[in-house]
Structure 1
Amino acid sequence: MASTTTVPALKADRPLLGIAFMLAAGLLFTLLDTAVKWLTQSYSPVQVVWARYAGHMLVLGGYLLILGWPRCREIMASVESLPGQFVRGLLLLAASTFAFLAFRELPLLQVYVINFSSPLLVTLLAIPLLSERVTAARGIAVAVGFVGVVIAVGPVDWRAQPAALLPFGMALCFALYQLATRRFGRNDHPLASLFYAGLAGALVSSLVVPFFWSPVALGDTPLFLLVGTLGAISQLGLIMAMRCAPASLVSPFLYLQIVWATVSGYLVFGDVPLLETYLGAVLIIGAGIFLATRKR
């Protein structure tokens, strides 16, 4: 992960297409996380994590079977670094675990606001890890975004509410995952990247889920299946976004999840955000728009 090797460029970056993929991924992530929060009220987050990756592999495996063996072999042969792909998968698994634990204890929007530091971290970490250049103006925008995160989170008694620390672990792991996608998966076929990320998560979570398993009610089965399906599709959107444009450009568009999370949290769970959450969001979204539109 600490490599500073320059990523081989595609024929040409397509920033608008990358932004579109990231917007779609953000909406799908919110739908996924809403379903996860609902399930973790009744089931262990570890069991839900396993369902997310098991469903991921079922959906993707079925699609690969439709493509046929010759095409699958061609796709899997596109991988330049198999260890790098598994690193991606483990980072995504870690981010998912932090997130699912947080969703059980915290409002959806609160988790998201803290996780909004992830695109800021991507912009900063892309400098040493991907050799991407960030101007002084973009650096200031990142700082403004972090100020917005602090305002939106507000005062928190960490000793009384240690679960509030979980989204910070999610943010760091997810930032590293995005950078690993850019570093190891940019020239690999998206389906290969999706497969190996899901495989790493499925293998590791399958080893531990027996210790956290509880019987699944028949009525909850469709929701468990939905978690796996949304997990696969949303990750494909993220992979395509990173393939089409620089990480420091497309990542800030995940900030729009604040809209989806506000609506979902209110309609499904009755969560009403505080005023400071919106004030912080203004700075966060403003910084994201600046980073996305400012010439590098």
Structure 2
Amino acid sequence: MTHHPRQAATFMVLAMLIIGLIDNYVAVIARDVSLWQFQFMRACMGLPLLGLVAFLGFGTLRPLRLWAVLVRNGFIAVGMLFYFGALAVMPIAQALAGLFTAPIFILLISVFVFGEKVGALRIFAVMFGFAGIVVVLGPGNGALTVVNFLPVFGGLFYAMGSVATQRLCANESTIAMLAGLFSLQGLIGLCALGLLALLQPVAPHGPEGFLLRGLVWPVGLTWGLIGVQAVGSLIGVGFLIRAYQSGEPSFVAVFEYSVFIFGPLFAYILLGQAVTISQAIGIAMIAVAGSVIALRSDP
């Protein structure tokens, strides 16, 4: 297979540019609707687009092994729930740092579940990365709570989904996996909205009500933001997949960390979120650890 490093790097940086931009909209969406309504509406917008892409001949919606795709998408869907939930209550720099602990968890899963051998350098990278997690998620004047670790839980489940992608879904169509993920996320959102309609909990105003808020209608300009998020997700993931198809995975993975530039940059421009020195140090530690793990593929 021929590799095109420059092309792969370009695709990955474009993917991270788009994702770093659109994920900032989740914090704005959280002010008006719930996580569950966001997931449901995003699926309703994204699935027809995937159907059109399949109709034009760019892939198939039919999975080879439905159960494998369901397992993989189940892990990813749960991971995204934690990540999107974190975006509503913390700066995107912290949420991204938690999500991008996934390479660390992938290595741990490979060692403790599949018995792979790991050298001293990657063991040190894992410890260095976890130290970076504590630094970037540190609460400052308060104590660490479960909320601080929401994006880390997202990274854990995302890592499990990544392992399942490699071991169970290597030959699956990208469009089939995306359609399955959007469908599952939409179904989870719809079921949660139904449960909230029965329980009718009191949801705080603003982002704090992201998890407890029921169906809100009409949603005004939030329609547009969710639409941008849906379309941007499809394009960004498309570029990400093309990046891994164009270059060596260990080389391409390093460029994923460019999201730590774009995400906080757009957060500062759009939302006025600033990155503290300690957060920047922690992000750098996690990025270095993930890059070492990706590049040092031998034991």
Residue in structure 2 matching 1:141, options 103, 114, 125: 125
* Deviation of the 1:39 alpha carbon: 0.6
What amino acid sits opposite 1:38 in the alignment?
Answer: V
Residue in structure 2 matching 1:102, options 86, 98, 102: 86
- Tell me the alpha carbon deviations over residues 39-94 of structure 1, each in whole angstroms, 9 at most, x when there is no partner: 11221121112223222212101222333xxx86xx355x4321110112222221
Q: Which runs of 5+ in 2 are unaligned?
A: 198-213
* Deviation of the 1:289 alpha carbon: 3.3
Q: TM-score, normalised by structure 2?
A: 0.79
Aligned-residue RMSD, C-alpha? 3.0
CA distance in 2, matches of 1:180, 1:270: 37
- Residue 49 of structure 1 aligns with which residue? 39
Structure 1, 161-170 or 94-103: larger mean CA deviation: 161-170
* Deviation of the 1:263 alpha carbon: 0.4
* Deviation of the 1:20 alpha carbon: 5.3
Higher helix fraction: Structure 1 or Structure 2? 1
Residue in structure 1 matching 2:256, options 250, 254, 257: 254
* Deviation of the 1:242 alpha carbon: 5.8
Counterpart contact for 2:134–2:282, Cα < 8 Å:
yes
Aligned residues: 278
Counterpart contact for 2:75–2:158, Cα < 8 Å:
yes
Residue in structure 2 matching 1:114, options 82, 88, 98: 98
* Deviation of the 1:290 alpha carbon: 2.9
Counterpart contact for 1:54–1:228, Cα < 8 Å:
no
Residue in structure 2 matching 1:166, options 142, 150, 162: 150
| Gap change, CA 1:236 and 1:130, over 3 Å in 2 | farther
Residue in structure 1 matching 2:236, options 231, 234, 237: 234
CA distance in 2, matches of 1:148, 1:201: 30
- Tell me the alpha carbon deviations over residues 160-203 of structure 1, each in whole angstroms, 9 at most, x when there is no partner: x5422321221111111222222222212222222222222223
- Residue 273 of structure 2 aligns with which residue? 271
Q: TM-score, normalised by structure 1?
A: 0.80
| Gap change, CA 1:129 and 1:76, over 3 Å in 2 | farther
* Deviation of the 1:237 alpha carbon: 4.1
Matches within 5 A, 1:1-296: 12=1, 14=3, 16=5, 21-67=11-57, 75-76=60-61, 79-127=63-111, 134-155=118-139, 157-158=142-143, 162-210=146-194, 211=197, 212-240=214-242, 250-294=252-296, 296=298
* Deviation of the 1:291 alpha carbon: 3.3
What amino acid sits opposite 2:261 in the alignment?
Answer: V
Counterpart contact for 2:250–2:297, Cα < 8 Å:
no
* Deviation of the 1:107 alpha carbon: 1.4
| Gap change, CA 1:57 and 1:76, over 3 Å in 2 | closer
* Deviation of the 1:127 alpha carbon: 3.8
Identity value in percent: 23
* Deviation of the 1:95 alpha carbon: 1.6
CA distance in 2, matches of 1:124, 1:245: 25
CA distance in 2, matches of 1:92, 1:84: 13
Counterpart contact for 1:138–1:291, Cα < 8 Å:
yes
* Deviation of the 1:250 alpha carbon: 4.9
Counterpart contact for 1:194–1:236, Cα < 8 Å:
no
CA distance in 2, matches of 1:26, 1:132: 30
What amino acid sits opposite 1:291 in the alignment?
Answer: I
Q: Which runs of 5+ in 1 are unaligned?
A: 1-11
SS of residue in 2 equivalent to 1:218: coil
- Tell me the alpha carbon deviations over residues 2-47 of structure 1, each in whole angstroms, 9 at most, x when there is no partner: xxxxxxxxxx595946665544433333223111111112211211
* Deviation of the 1:266 alpha carbon: 0.9
